[in-house]
Amino acid sequence: MEEGNTIAKRAGSRLCCLCNERKPALKRPKTLEQICRDCFYNVFEEEIHQVIVGNHLFKAGERVAIGASGGKDSTVLAYVMSELNRRHNYGLDLFLLSVDEGITGYRDDSLETVKRNEVQYGLPLKIVSYKDLYGWTMDEIVKVIGLKNNCTFCGVFRRQALDRGAAYLKVDKLVTGHNADDIAETVLLNILRGDVARLSRCTSITTGEDGPIPRCKPFKYTYEKEIVIYPCSDCKIFNQNHTYAYFKKLDYFSTECIYSPNAYRGFAREFIKDLERMRPRAIVDIIKSGENFRISTSTKMPEQGTCERCGYISSQKWCKACVLLEGLNRGLPKLGIGRSRFLENSNDNRKEAKRNDGDRSIESKQCGSLDF
Ligand code: SF4
Ligand code: ZN
């Protein structure tokens, strides 16, 4: 082998820098190492396994729902979770949990992908819909409110829908496909908006431990480019054909939501991509910076109670979903957009609706290629 390596190097063809045996198939976006396809699978899966084990994300015997949208992140997550569960005997009962927001031409198609994943991975699937839970589809909501605050409604409703789906499945935990790029982006957005409380929370690998269902992010340190796209070392162009999802021939849906308008988030995303081009470590470094922020004692954290109307957890009299629904049902759709004090002052709704200037809650991913 030694001789073979020397000959290959002399001939100008380098070998995979991990196994030193096979020809490299890609330049790893996270480290810029030239590696072969087999080593890529290994490091990709092993890093996620280490994150799971190192953070004690699961206990044997737990029931775990995978938030599945049919998009690349959650499709790869479902695949990798079932692989690792088998390979390392995690002893988990895995389920797929999807939300149907009622977006014609987008979610109906992506749910077809999840239904195929259900068969391909042999994981039971539960779909919860906005129409069933709230009486409204996103198509109907957009007709009323237009395209300005649609993601606020959708984000609030999704969070609660996932919790309700998780309760139905009686799972102990919910895992989501948020990747390192998503988390870095959320750190930046929380800095830009001065939201210190969320900033200190958004890098946690597990959140919601005080709520109905803990949520974990096994892809916290996984680069989006490795999940779906990377600049191919041979042709030097962005090439969708050298990715984990592609190599493994995973079946996923890649169209953006037709109501995706989030320009501000889009800028943060582009900024991170630019930084990553210059220095791939930038993504991990932003996450590390976020982790090191501490909440000052003067920052007041809201106390958790339950919503008087639907019983869901809430720090106010009514939960955010009930406030938004009240607005929709009363023909005052702007009610509850932003930091509302309306419940403490419910006679003053109209004045309140006028004061609100846009949602500031960005804890859940408000998506383009929605992956919860
Ligand atoms: Fe909902 Fe995401 Fe579409 Fe916004 S972009 S409307 S959050 S699915
Ligand atoms: Zn190799």
| pLDDT band for position 106 (cuts 50, 70, 90) | confident
Residue 229 has pLDDT above 50, yes or no: no
Relative to the alpha carbon of 365, which ligand is closest? 1
Contact 361, 156 (CB under 8 A): yes
Q: What gap in Å lies between CA 113 and CA 350, rounded to an integer?
A: 43
Q: Is 181 annotated as a binding residue?
A: no
Of residues 208 and 349, more confidently modeled: 208
Residues in contact with ligand 1 by the CB-under-6-Å rule are 101, 138, 150-151, 154-155, 257, 259-260, 366-367, 370
How confident is the model at residue 367, as a pLDDT?
53
Which amino acid type is present at position 301?
M
Task: Pick the residue whose CA is nearest to atom 2 on ligand 1.
Answer: 367
Q: Is 99 annotated as a binding residue?
A: yes
Query: The whole model's pTM is what?
Result: 0.80
Percent of residues, the chain, with pLDDT higher than 90:
46
How confident is the model at residue 347, as a pLDDT?
42
Relative to the alpha carbon of 266, which ligand is closest? 1
- What average pLDDT score do residues 92-111 get? 92
Enumerate the H helices of the chain as residue ranges: 2-10, 37-54, 72-87, 107-121, 130-134, 138-145, 150-169, 180-192, 196-201, 224-227, 244-247, 263-278, 282-292, 320-329, 349-355
Contact 100, 129 (CB under 8 A): yes
Ramachandran area for residue 331 (φ above 0: left; ψ -120 to 50: alpha; else beta): left
Q: What gap in Å lies between CA 79 and CA 60, rounded to an integer?
A: 19
Minimum mean pLDDT among 254-263, 273-282, 335-344: which range? 335-344
How confident is the model at residue 27, as a pLDDT?
86
**Mean per-residue pLDDT of the chain:** 81
How confident is the model at residue 301, as a pLDDT?
64
> What is the atom index within ligand 1 of the atom nearest the CA of 155?
7
Of residues 236 and 270, more confidently modeled: 270
Relative to the alpha carbon of 18, which ligand is closest? 2
Q: How far is the CA of 173 from the centre of ligand 2 (A)?
A: 35
Q: What gap in Å lies between CA 372 and CA 359, rounded to an integer?
A: 18
pLDDT in tens, 182-205: 999 999 998 888 887 788 788 999
> What is the atom index within ligand 1 of the atom nearest the CA of 142?
6
- What average pLDDT score do residues 361-368 get? 40
Q: Is 70 annotated as a binding residue?
A: no
Instruction: Determine phi and psi for 319, rounding to 5 degrees.
Output: -75, 165
How confident is the model at residue 249, as a pLDDT?
67
pLDDT in tens, 47-78: 999 999 999 999 999 999 999 988 888 888 99
How confident is the model at residue 253, as a pLDDT?
67
Residue 15 has pLDDT above 90, yes or no: yes
How confident is the model at residue 254, as a pLDDT?
61
Q: What gap in Å lies between CA 37 and CA 26, rounded to an integer?
A: 7
Question: Pairing state of beta strands 173-175 and 63-67?
Answer: parallel
- What average pLDDT score do residues 244-261 get? 69
